[in-house]
Amino acid sequence: MFSRATRAITALTSLLTVTACSVFGSAAAPEPEYRMILSEPPYELRDYGALVVVKTAMDGGSRAAFGRLFDYISGANAGARDIAMTAPVLKTDSTAGTEIAMTAPVLQSRDGAREMVFVLPSAMTLQTAPVPTDPAVTLSTIAPRRVAVVRYAGFMASNAAAEEAHLRDWLAIKGLTANGPGEVAGYNPPWTLPPLRRNEVLIPVASE
């Protein structure tokens, strides 16, 4: 089994090879599909289908949580398939667990139970996703939902509270009712220039 450092270097090399332009703001991974209901930049109202996710508590901080989830998508799981991080290319590797394509965004809860969530590739289900070997990491689903979104640049966490307040003001203007805690979403790799990063705050809202 490769060390975390080796897997991180391999993943970074793959990402740089395919998405060198990501330093200038392009997302480095596929995104879940959604249906646009309303767009008033920087605000949007979207409908997402069901998502399969892997998650972990943030009790030890965001870096530790990210490390556990990164380990999962890099092979700390039960399985024999190898899914490249940058393309849906399959290969068999009997010496390691399943390596899963990383998708955007990375989600962090803004309220209640603090969790970090990776959205898994759309082809995966709870039945086909490999079981984590770390008991602190679990598979789950997010049911289909409508979310209000505000987009912003810079560092993901630094402006999240202010952007969430702006988004809640927009919800009030539109007569929309929040029915869940806010989440922070980051779409770019860490080497992307901060002014060109895409971050979002998402708040689930009641459907009509």
Q: What is the mean pLDDT of the chain?
A: 76
For the whole prediction, is pTM greater than 0.85? Answer: no
Both tokens assigned to 197: 């990063």
User: For the chain, how many residues are written?
Assistant: 208
50-93: per-residue pLDDT in tens? Answer: 988 888 888 877 788 888 888 888 888 887 444 333 222 111 23
**pLDDT beyond 50 at 19:** no
Contact 141, 50 (CB under 8 A): yes
CA atoms within 13 A of residue 49's CA, in its CB half-sphere: 10
Tell me what pLDDT residue 7 has: 47
3-state secondary structure string across the chain: CCCHHHHHHHHHHHHHHHCHHHHHCCCCCCCCCEEEEEEECCEEEEEECCEEEEEEECCCCHHHHHHHHHHHHCCCECCCEEECCCCCCEEECCCCCCECCCCCCEEEECCCCCEEEEECCCCCCCCCCCCECCCCEEEEEECCEEEEEEEECCCCCCCHHHHHHHHHHHHHHHCCCECCCCEEEECCCCCCCHHHCCEEEEEEECCC
Would you kindly state where each structural domain of the chain is located, as residue ranges? 4-12+28-205
Contacts with 70 (C-beta within 8 Å, 6 or more apart), sequence order: 4, 7, 8
Over 90: is that where the pLDDT of 155 sits? no
Whether residue 82 contacts residue 130, with contact meaning beta carbons closer than 8 Å, is answered with: no
Which pLDDT score, from 0 to 100, does residue 37 have? Answer: 97
> From CA 28, how far away is CA 21, in angstroms rounded?
9
CATH architecture of 4-12+28-205: Alpha-Beta Barrel (3.20)
